[in-house]
Structure 1
Amino acid sequence: MLLISCGGSQANAEPGPTKAFDFENAEYSVAIFAGGCFWCMEGPFEKIDGVKEVISGYTGGERKGPAYKEVASGSTKHIESVIVLYDAKKISYEKLLKIFWMNIDPTQDNGQFYDIGEQYRTVIFYRNEEEKKAAEASKAELSESGPFDRPIVTRILPFSGEFWIAEEYHQDYYKKNPVHYNRYRVGSGRDAFIKEHWDSSH
Structure 2
Amino acid sequence: MNGGGKGTAGRIRIIGGSLRNSRLDVPELPGLRPTPERVRETLFNWLAPVIDGARCLDLCAGTGALGIEALSRGAAGVQFVERDTCAAQALRANLARLEADAGQVTVLDAGLFLQGAAQPYDLVFLDPPFALDLWPALARQLEQGGWLAARGWVYVESPRGLAPALPPNWQLHREGQAGEVRFALYRRALPLS
Tell me if both proteins adopt one fold, taking TM over 0.5 as the criterion: no
The structure with the largest helix share of the pair is: 1
The structure with the largest strand share of the pair is: 2
What TM-score comes out, normalization by structure 1 length?
0.29
What TM-score comes out, normalization by structure 2 length?
0.30
Greater RCO, 1 or 2 (C-alpha within 8 Å, sep 6+): 1
